[in-house]
Amino acid sequence: MPRLVGALVFFAALLMFLQSAALMFDSWDAVKHFPACRDNASSEISQTAVEDTQLLQVQLAQAKFRECKDSLYDITGVRLTPSQGEISTRQLWEVMLYPTARVLFWLAVLLIGMMIYHMGLCCMPMEHFREMKEKAKRR
For 62-76, the pLDDT digits (tens) are 788 888 888 888 888
pTM, rounded to two decimals: 0.66
Q: What is the C-alpha to C-alpha distance for residues 44 and 33, in angstroms, rounded to an integer?
A: 17
Q: What is the DSSP string of 79-136?
A: PPPTT--S--HHHHHHHHHHHHHHHHHHHHHHHHHHHHHHHTT-PPPHHHHHHHHHHH
Residue 54 pLDDT grade (very low, low, confident, very high; cuts 50, 70, 90): low
Mean local confidence (pLDDT), 43-64: 66
- How confident is the model at residue 62, as a pLDDT? 79
- How confident is the model at residue 121, as a pLDDT? 60
Residue 85 pLDDT grade (very low, low, confident, very high; cuts 50, 70, 90): confident
Residue 45 pLDDT grade (very low, low, confident, very high; cuts 50, 70, 90): low
